[in-house]
Chains A and B, each alone.
Chain A
Amino acid sequence: MESFLHELWIARYVLLSGLKITVFVSAVSILAGSLIGLVTGVALAYGPRPIAWLMRGYVDVVRGTPVLVLILASFYVLAIAGIHFTAIQSGIFALSIFCGAHMGEIVRGALQAIPKTQTEAARSIGLTFSKILAYVLLPQALRQILPVWINTGAELVKASTLLSVIGVGELLLSTQEIVGRNFQTLQFYTLAGVMYYCVNFAIESFGRQAERRLRG
């Protein structure tokens, strides 16, 4: 135990910077992914045929592909397409695309679950489509998706571990580096697990708080 604390003290900065990168990557991808998802969901539910089909293709392909494959593919393929991203950028790109597809499906589901009468009522008092969307449909849909959205956020934090494969120095890669030096595998992998648990627990509590505020 004493040697673990000693090693932990030596590794403190590496671990903290790993945690920082994990939080940063997850936060950016969740935000970008939610925006993509919002647009995708609206397009899926109300878009004209060709756009809806295009979005359906995007959502189905991304949802049918493992995140790890998305990350590896965007790391290697984007470079060939002439886009030179760093590892962390292509990681964020892959995670946002992944999050966007999942959120798109969620937003579509929530939008289509709203009773038709809402739209009809809004149209009968003369609102335009964009106003119906902004003032009638989206507020109801967003309240619906909040729990699932929080869940997706926690999933994304977990998926960010996969960026270690393309060499982004997030929490798991930092842990692997530390383990590579001191061979305390059990201790440090457990520590990594505990840290991820704490991050996700924080997200979950935040979600519960927000939910209570919205419902209450």
Chain B
Amino acid sequence: MDYYFRFGVVWANFDKLLQGLALGLALALVAIAAGTIIGIVCAFAAAGGNRATRVGVNAYVSIIRNTPILVIVLLVFFALPQLGVRLDKYQSFIASLAVYAGAYLTEVFRAGLSGVPRGVIDAGRAIGMTGVQVSTYVVFPIMLRNSLPAMGTTFISLFKDTSIATAIAVPELTFQARKINVETFRVVEVWLVASGLYVATCLVIAAGLRQVERRYSRL
């Protein structure tokens, strides 16, 4: 195998890769924030609400979780304009990822919610809190703490899913890597560096989340 590694061209384009990484992180951050809100709302709706909302939430979670994210992304970007909804590529990717994230996070929060002991709810009611107060001050914090580990895994996997934005030409890390490949043909080097960046970012996110977990599980 006569292959000589030349990382020069990769370092020359390294700023593009970093820009791509930053864009991916930004997309993930916005989508995760939106998805977390969707997830919390859906989890509470499914837990407390009537039959209809529970069936609705179940359908949403099961449909989105069993559909590939690439299909969702393409559907939102290419098919929604047919219905008159026009989003640019960033908006449409964020919307897709948020809807996708919401389904996974609903499951996470639902599991966290079911881990809240019955006794603390009763205790809250006993000292005269209203239902809403019990939910916000008692159930919500405990649920959040229960859900932290699973949230971390989901966040990391959602960050990795930003690579799929390359399919609709969002210039994130994978897109930039492919672009550099086309320009320089240093395929091995570019993919090594790109995967290295992904792995490093995931490790950093994981370490950060572990810190948060340690901070809040100590209470």
Q: Which positions in A face B, CB cutoff 8 Å?
A: 60-61, 63-70, 72-73, 76-77, 80-82, 154, 157-162, 164-165, 172, 176, 179, 185-186, 189-190, 192-193, 196-197, 200-201, 204
Contact A186 B83 (CB under 8 A): yes
Q: Per-position contact with A for B156-180: 1 when CB-CB < 8 Å, else 0?
A: 1000111110110000001001100
Contact B67 A69 (CB under 8 A): no
Q: Per-position contact with A for B189-203: 1 when CB-CB < 8 Å, else 0?
A: 001001100111111
Q: Per-position contact with A for B56-84: 1 when CB-CB < 8 Å, else 0?
A: 00000001011111111011001110110
Most central of B63, B72, B79, B200 by chain A CB within 10 Å: B79
Give every chain B residue within 8 A of A82 (Cβ-Cβ). Answer: 1
Contact A65 B199 (CB under 8 A): yes
Instruction: List, sorted by A's number, 6 A–B pairs whose CB atoms are closer than 8 Å.
Output: A64-B156, A64-B195, A65-B199, A76-B191, A81-B1, A161-B68
> Bound complex: CA of A76 vs CA of B192, how far in Å?
12
User: Smallest Cβ distance from B164 to chain A, in angstroms?
Assistant: 6
> Bound complex: CA of A60 vs CA of B195, how far in Å?
12
Contact A158 B79 (CB under 8 A): no
Contact B195 A76 (CB under 8 A): no
Give every chain B residue within 8 A of A185 (Cβ-Cβ). Answer: 75, 78-79, 82
Give every chain B residue within 8 A of A200 (Cβ-Cβ). Answer: 66
Most central of B67, B160, B167 by chain A CB within 10 Å: B67
Task: Name the CB-closest residue of B to A165.
Answer: B167
Contact B71 A192 (CB under 8 A): yes
Give every chain A residue within 8 A of B80 (Cβ-Cβ). Answer: 186
> Bound complex: CA of A77 vs CA of B3, how far in Å?
11
Contact A190 B79 (CB under 8 A): yes
